[in-house]
Amino acid sequence: MKKLWIGVFAGLVMASGSARADEGADLAKARECMSCHALDKEVVGPAFKSVAKKYKGKAQAEDMLVKTVVKGSPDAGGFHWGTKKMPSPGARVAVSEDEARVLVRWVLAQ
């Protein structure tokens, strides 16, 4: 019986991780992130895998990227990727802070 519960728990944990991954991908499509980004190639913005590689292990990366996703790049400077800027919410689909956190965690996990 103990082995059965361990197996059920492990299955739920694995399914939960998969559901979170699907949530990020689904949200990226729903908020039209994929209009400017792709998983593995530059479009208008950088590839999500390139973003993950650039910010891997950087302590403040998640918070900085969440802020950028919510508000866009700052008007003065604030470039995160060459001279390309994230548009402000008025120029694209708005994303809440909670949604941005899901998106950024998904991107950083690539």
Q: Is 36 annotated as a binding residue?
A: no
- pLDDT, residue 51, reads 95
Any binding-site annotation on 37? yes
Tokens 């548009």 sit on residue: 87
Ordered domains of the chain (ranges, CATH): 2-108 (1.10.760.10)
Half-sphere exposure at residue 57, Cβ-oriented, CA atoms within 13 angstroms = 2
For the chain, 110 residues long, the average pLDDT of each consecutive 10-residue run is 45 47 92 96 94 94 94 76 85 95 96
Q: Angle at CA 29, nearest 5°, toward 11 and 96? A: 90
pLDDT of the residue at 77:
65
Pairwise CA distance, residues 18 & 23, whole Å: 9
* 23, 106 Cβ separation under 8 angstroms: yes
Tokens of 40: 């593995």
pLDDT at 74: 79
pTM of structure? 0.78
